[in-house]
Structure formats: structure tokens, C-alpha cells
Amino acid sequence: MTAQPLAALLQALADRQYRFTTPTPSTCRRMADKPIARAPGLRDIFGWSRAFVTADLEPALLSLLQEANALAQDDGGRWRCTLRVSDVHGRLFLHSAFPATAPDAVFLGPDSYRFADLIAAELASGGQIRTILDVGTGAGVSGLVAELSAPGARVILGDINPKALDLARINAAHAGVDFEARHAAGLDGAPQDLDVIVSNPPYVAGESGRAYKDGGDLHGARLSLDWAIAGMGHLAPGGRFILYTGSTILDGGADPFRHALARAVEAQGLALRYRELDPDIFSGELRRPAYADAERIAAVGAVITRPT
């Protein structure tokens, strides 16, 4: 993967008014199986990750993919782009093609859009924002959406996945955002006195081997809890930690993650706002043994604030 041709690809797609919203994997799977009675277009190739022949794509775009080493050939001799391009809040983002099953895959999907909306709504309330840290940045969506509310803020994008940081760098450069990249696990080595921390940690129970998915115990919420606790110590007075994650609601309606997070926030003398953003996500995961005592998985948003 080479940065310069991928940056040129994003600009070329922007010039062509390209737009694509990435839905759930099940919808992507259905679309992959759905025949089309026409040549694949830009949204088919760069959005739905459909196979194509060289005649289907403009030579200039094909040349950029070849130069970036971002093509894979199937048994039938057709090509697929190994990356996708989606737009979130008016900006284009490179991320992994469907299906994103590699250990170092960089995922973007419905969670990204819900989190982007949460960030935009939260930061619309104002407040001084000099520094933004995105923990587990992936493609860079949350940090770059936060920057839209604070142009000129110091933006730090961190991830343990080098491939994610490579794509985040390209996406940030295309957005015209100056930023710093941190190759780090969670809050390790993060600066102090941060005005805004944003994070969408992995939150699925089990061991898939994918960096963006496995969230540890507590039905997958362990990493979210650990990052939230660590992040509280890095907030400046008045600073906010905006967290998006999945929380498993157990039989009978209990939300163990919410209770654990509330206790941790209270112990440090901070304030917490917490709400469900979607009551039922990743329902297919509930068939797995790790969720035998669960009713549902909810998408939740938590905002932790340090008093001024």
C-alpha cells in the first residue's frame, strides 16, 4: 500500500462527487450476491467491493490502484480493490474492503456514523478545544469529525494497528487536517491535559483475532472500561471523554458495563452522561456461547467530564 497514489485516488473520487455509505456486513453480503445487469460503477468497485474487469474502470483510476498495490485478482481473472472508500460527515475515508476479516483490517461501518453524529452533537455545545486525542482511531473518522468542531486544534490519532495509522494519515491529509500519529495501545504514553478524547474501542466478546473487534471479557466491554478509566486521568479541567461502544444487556435487563463505568467515574469525582444510541446491534453475535446470558447488545454513548 503506497500513500501517494491513494491520496490521489481520494482526490479523484472527490472530484467525481463520489459518495458511499457503508452499511452492516449482512447488507454488504446481500449486495455482493446480488447480480447487476450493467458494468460496475465507482460505487460498486470502491463501495460494495464488487469484482470488475479493467475495462470497467477509468484508466487513470486503474493506474492509481496498480501503483498503490491495492488490487487483488480472483480465480476468474477479475479484479477487486483491496480498499473501500466511504464518506462520513462530508469527508472521504479509505478503509478495508469487504469482507474485513484480516487480523489488521481497518473497519468502518454503522458504528462509525453513529459515533460521528454523537461527537458532532456533543461538541456543538461549545467549550474550548485545544487538543483532541482519538484512541483506537482506525480510519481516523472520530478524530477528524471532532476536528470539524474545533478547526486548528491539535489532533492526535492513535492506534496499535500500523495499517490503520497508514490509512488514517492518508485520510487526514486529504481532509487538510494537521495531525500527530501515535502507534500505541490505548492511552499508553498519551499526553496529559486533553480537552477532548474520543474513542470507539473494540467491544465484541471472544477472540476473532481482529484488532478492531475483540474487546475482552465483561461481554466484550473490558477494553472500553479500561480505556475510559485510563482516559479520565488525562483530561484537562472541563475536558470530555466521548466514548462509543457496545454494551451487553443481560437477561432481566441489567447493564453491567454501565454500572462498572458509573462506579469508576464516581470514584474519580467526574461526571457521566450515558444513553443507548441503538437498542439492538450485532444480533447475530448473540448466537455465540459468550452471549448465552444476554438479551441484546446495545450501542451506547458515554460522555465523561472533568469539572472545571
User: To the nearest whole percent, how much of the chain has pLDDT over 90?
Assistant: 87
Q: Express each pLDDT in 191-232 by its tens digit.
A: 999 999 999 999 988 776 676 677 888 899 999 999 999 999
Per-residue CA distances from 293 to 12, 208, 287 (Å): 49, 20, 11
Q: Of 97, 8, 89, which is closest to residue 46 (Cα–Cα)?
A: 97
- Answer positive or negative: Cα dihedral of 242, 246, 250, 251: positive
**In whole angstroms, what separates CA 276 from the centre of its chain?**
18
Give the pLDDT of residue 207.
74
pLDDT for residue 237 is more than 90: yes
**What's the pLDDT score for residue 211?**
66
Mean pLDDT of 247-275: 97
CA 43, 22, 241, 121 torsion: positive or negative? positive
Could you tell me the pLDDT band of residue 33, with boundaries at 50, 70 and 90?
A: confident
Confidence of residue 84 (pLDDT cuts 50, 70, 90): very high
Q: Who contacts 197 (Cβ-Cβ below 8 Å, separation ≥6)? A: 132, 133, 134, 135, 231, 234, 235, 239, 240, 241, 242
Average pLDDT, the chain: 94
What is the distance between the alpha carbons of residues 122 and 219, in angstroms, rounded to a whole number?
A: 27
Among 112, 87, 113, CA closest to 174 = 87
Separation in Å, CA 150 to CA 31, 196, 293, 305: 37, 10, 42, 18
pLDDT in tens, 163-174: 999 999 999 999
Q: What's the rounded mean pLDDT across residues 62-78?
A: 94
- At residue 208, the pLDDT reads 67
Note the pLDDT of residue 65.
97
**Pick the residue with more confidence: 76 or 251?**
251
With residue 94 as reference, give the H or E element that holds it. strand 91-96
> Closest Cα to residue 48, out of 27, 69, 78?
27
- Does 126 or 112 have the greater pLDDT score? 112
- What are the pLDDT digits (tens) for 135-165? 999 999 999 999 999 999 999 999 999 999 9
Domains of the chain: 3-83 (no CATH), 110-305 (3.40.50.150)
> At residue 256, does pLDDT exceed 90?
yes
Quick check: 113 pLDDT over 70?
yes
